[in-house]
Amino acid sequence: MNYPPQLLRLDTRILSQSEEIRNVVKIRVHTVVEEYIRDRTGFQTLTASYESSPPRLIEFSLPSANLRQINDILCRHRLSPQLSLFLAVRISPEATKKGLGVNSFVMTLLVKLTYKRVSAFNFDFSTLPSSIGGEAVNWEDDVVERLIREGAIDKERSKSLNLGSEACSICFESLVGTSDKAPTQISCSHVFHDRCISQWLRRKNSCPLCRRELYGR
């Protein structure tokens, strides 16, 4: 599966006036692969994240701010229909705002495409032995339990944080309303299910989202 395209940056630089109006679009596309392993309980662990190919550079002159015309140009550069439309709906209003046909400008877009690969295994991560391939697996149970306990979120605070519309980034289920899981907030302010983050922190000492270390090893 792949995540929706992510626009990391959109910059438009107005050029000094010349006899010829130039409106140029430059796009830099980064393609990232995230590899996960999933156990039989559905728990997923991110094992690798890397760029699958060198960044792709696309450059073209912008003839108009017409959405369909921009989309056609992007498709001719062999971008997927989904990515072409994603970019066209951002380029069109930006070009109008910057004075297409009146001002000369260079528009630069930095785009990230993330693909997710999941390998499923018929075992439960929580039953893994204390060492794998000769490398020790540390189990700081007391530290992890304290982090979970201190970050517990009650119903009132859950409402104030508007968690009803949020999902746990580990299991992708709703943060609230799950009978056997409760939301908990770790020290970097990210919120997960208590059971999900507990299992995660028994193998890694960092937040799944921001990678901030939560305890020493």
pLDDT tens digits for 13-43? Answer: 888 766 677 899 999 999 988 877 777 777 7
Per-residue confidence (pLDDT) for residue 21, from 0 to 100: 74
DSSP codes joined into one string, 62-85: -----HHHHHHHHHHTT--HHHHH
Q: Are strands 23-38 and 183-185 parallel, antiparallel or unpaired?
A: unpaired
CA 40, chain centre distance (Å) = 24
Span 131-201 CATH architecture: 2-Layer Sandwich (3.30)
Per-residue confidence (pLDDT) for residue 149, from 0 to 100: 84
Enumerate the domain spans of the chain.
6-120, 131-201
Per-residue confidence (pLDDT) for residue 91, from 0 to 100: 96
| DSSP H or E stretch at residue 12 | strand 6-14
72 residue type, one letter: D
Q: What is the pTM of this model?
A: 0.55
Averages of pLDDT over runs of 10 residues in the chain (217 residues) are: 80 77 92 81 76 90 95 95 95 93 92 87 56 48 77 85 86 82 85 89 84 68
**Closest alpha carbon to 143 in 75, 36, 73, 217:** 217
Per-residue confidence (pLDDT) for residue 138, from 0 to 100: 46
Nearest-angstrom CA–CA distance, 111 and 74 = 14
Q: Which residues contact 24 (CB under 8 A, 6 or more apart)?
A: 59, 60, 61, 62, 105, 106, 107
Helices (runs of H) and strands (runs of E) counted in the chain: 5, 9
CA 137, chain centre distance (Å) = 27
Nearest-angstrom CA–CA distance, 95 and 118 = 39
**Closest alpha carbon to 76 in 65, 61, 54, 90:** 61
